[in-house]
Amino acid sequence: MFAAGCSGSSSPTSSTNTDAFGGSATATSVNVTMPDVVYNPNHIDIGRNGVVNFVFASTAHDVRFGGNAQAPSDILVSSNTTVSRTFTNAGTFTFLCTLHANMSGVVVVH
């Protein structure tokens, strides 16, 4: 298991995460899987309008953004499904699973 901190950062497969042209950064798509009780990766960098696909396996989890009005809506407890969220605002958005202590992550939207 290669967990731990932000060392498991994902790199979007394409595009530069620049917003130098007034918000027209190329949207990217990143899959976040949930092996056991972690988000993998737990540090996601995307461009504005990027999409994060939360891939739920058999163990139930949720994804809560802590009431941040700039963040997408929370994902309620789910399993065996994939739920996507589009990040339209630049910023740093932490999220966590209310079912498992220390299960958390962050999406940085550039």
Q: From the CB of 37, what's the least distance to Cu ion, in Å? A: 5
Question: Burial letters for 72-98: b for 16+ Cβ neighbours within 10 Å, e otherwise?
Answer: beebeeeeeeeeebebeebeebebbbe
DSSP secondary-structure letter at 100? S
Whole-angstrom Cα Rg for the chain: 13
Q: In what order do the strands lie in the sheet with 91-96?
A: 43-46, 104-109, 91-96
CB nearer Cu ion, residue 6 or residue 77: 77
Under a CB-based contact definition with an 8 Å cutoff, are residues 2 and 8 in contact? Answer: yes
Positions that interact with Cu ion (CB under 5 A): 61, 97, 99-100, 103
Q: From the CB of 95, what's the least distance to Cu ion, in Å? A: 11
Q: From the CB of 23, what's the least distance to Cu ion, in Å? A: 33
Q: From the CB of 66, what's the least distance to Cu ion, in Å? A: 15
